[in-house]
Amino acid sequence: FLKGKTAVISGSTSGIGLAYAKALAAEGAAVVLNGFGEADAIEANRAALEQASGAAALYDPADMTRPDQIEAMIERAAKETGSVDIVINNAGIQHVAPITEFPVEKWDAIIAINLSSAWHMMRAAIPHMRQKGWGRIITTASAHSLVASPNKSAYVAAKHGVVGITKTVALEVATDGITANCISPGYVWTPLVENQIPDTMKARGLSREQVIEDVLLKAQPTKEFVTIEQVAALALFLCRDEAKSITGANLSVDGGWTAQ
Ligand code: NAD
């Protein structure tokens, strides 16, 4: 149902972003992959997406800390595929440390990648969506857009912030056929989660098993990690015409975490 549409997905070389790309391409969308990684692996993913969609799949290495590169990626997508219909703000990084020990450059990087890049993506993409009278803006927020955990001050601030941008933009584009929503996963098993285990072990003096059981899954009543496919399935639904009245929302996929 997405034939003829183009989706630009930041941070889609891995984890949740790659799952979004696969789900949208399976419905015929042209996709723009973005993010870092090994060139051969990125090219293999790009080629597989093109194969699956029967439409174009581009890779753009725009660094989400760089507004000029973000804008250039959106303009390139419009030029090379004919439109920018779906934008998914998904790139994100994490750093775990108490505020008094939190490196200032990590604060700046998390705010740039997890918060400001979403603003720059939306700003550049909305004129293209307005031209078509249709658009979908989806942002991967987090359970940490609703609640906090210690030692994640930058991440929690950025995730609360993207919900604010999303609500505001949803109001600004409400009569243009464009929706803007956040998806807020709980813990999803991806490299982002795996990579924070050593820091959490150090910050809290715990073993790997204790971090998984007592820190990560402690918050999640289902005691299961969310899967990347479950998150992508919700994004796909938000792209359907049936979802046109869902806008300005922050939808949880968190195994009951934020119900507590
Ligand atoms: P991941 O590490 O697998 O993927 C992150 C992606 O962002 C990668 O493609 C990476 O290359 C890209 N990226 C990082 N810095 C970038 C930059 N400067 N410019 C462009 N791309 C950059 O992580 P993930 O778990 O799939 O995370 C995706 C999103 O989901 C993030 O916004 C994250 O905060 C959010 N999220 C993850 C979880 C979880 O438990 N994994 C839970 C809630 C929210």
How much is the ipTM here?
Answer: 0.99
Residues designated catalytic: 155
- Mean per-residue pLDDT for 187-213? 90
Q: Is residue 202 part of a domain?
A: no
Both tokens of 182, joined, read 């956040």
CA atoms of 186 and 216, how far apart (whole Å) = 9
CA atoms of 252 and 234, how far apart (whole Å) = 10
- Mean per-residue pLDDT for 125-136? 98
Q: Is residue 235 part of a domain?
A: yes
Q: Is residue 200 part of a domain?
A: no
182 pLDDT higher than 90: yes
Ligand 1: distance of its center to the CA of 202 in Å?
A: 22
Nearest Cα to 124, choosing from 159, 82, 72, 162? 72
Residue 227: what pLDDT? 96
Question: Residue 151 maps to which CATH number?
Answer: 3.40.50.720
Domain count, the chain: 1
Confidence of residue 243 (pLDDT cuts 50, 70, 90): very high
Q: Is residue 232 part of a domain?
A: yes
Ligand 1: distance of its center to the CA of 220 in Å?
A: 20
Domain containing residue 142: 6-186+227-259
- Mean per-residue pLDDT for 72-88? 98
Residue 226: what pLDDT? 96
Both tokens of 158, joined, read 């950025």
What is the distance, to the nearest Å, from the Cα of residue 124 to the centroid of all Cα atoms in its chain?
A: 17
Range with lowest mean pLDDT among 64-68, 182-186, 191-195, 208-212: 191-195
Nearest Cα to 10, choosing from 81, 86, 83, 79? 86
- Tens digit of pLDDT for each residue in 216-231? 899 899 999 999 999 9
Comparing 195 with 255, the larger pLDDT belongs to: 255
Residue nearest to atom 43 of ligand 1 (CA): 142
Which residues have any ligand 1 atom within 6 Å of their CB? 10-17, 34-37, 63-65, 90-93, 113-114, 140, 142, 185, 187-188, 190-193
Residue nearest to atom 21 of ligand 1 (CA): 35
